[in-house]
Chain A
């Protein structure tokens, strides 16, 4: 199965710093999705992107759908302790209704 390349694997940052993570794929996608997962819980959808070049914000989060349709990035500005968790990217394939996932970026925010 296809797996997306997500980087970095982990990040340790000071509270107030900005964060950036990205995902790349060898295939093009119709949709890029970004999730956050807290321990013991299911992934929660943060942002959905539908068109190449699209830039979308959700509060302090900003994500972009790459122009080639093979990549996406997520930025978190002015990080706070509750941003701690694992962030996943996902892409919806161009045929059918299947989704493919990155292996996640573990974010630690140091107060």
Chain B
């Protein structure tokens, strides 16, 4: 399972409140990712990190920020949650495979409901 944990696993929050989701990995992976998964859209990249304090935006980054102050932790923050951010959020890491390619492994997910 690549040693990935996410917390919390479930959260219900109200519109307008800040929310932080945590991803923790134990195997010193350089690359970490945050995705959201919604019916009909598949997995969409929010932000990713290629090292401590090195992050970049993904396809659906509006309304989200991230921080990575330690190799093992990648935090996703919703500054002011909206109902459109109700989703399942997955953290992932990637590690080298063969022939210069990479494999990606996922955490168990966080189900977030914004009421």
Residues of A within 8 A of B (CB): 1, 3, 30-31, 33, 35, 40-45, 48, 50-51, 88, 90, 92, 97-99, 101-104
Contacts and interface: CB of A to CB of B under 8 A. Distances in A.
Contact of B45 (A31, A48, A98): A98
B59 A33 contact: no
Interface string B95-115: 001111111111111000000
Interface of B: 31, 33, 40-45, 48, 50, 58-60, 90, 94, 97-109
Given A30-B102, A42-B109, 14 more contacts: A30-B101, A31-B102, A41-B109, A42-B106, A43-B90, A48-B103, A50-B101, A90-B104, A98-B48, A98-B58, A99-B94, A101-B43, A103-B40, A103-B41
Contacts of A51: 99
25 contacts: A1-B44, A1-B58, A3-B42, A31-B97, A31-B101, A35-B106, A41-B108, A42-B90, A42-B107, A42-B108, A45-B103, A48-B97, A48-B98, A48-B103, A50-B97, A50-B99, A88-B43, A92-B102, A97-B48, A97-B94, A98-B48, A98-B58, A99-B94, A99-B104, A101-B42
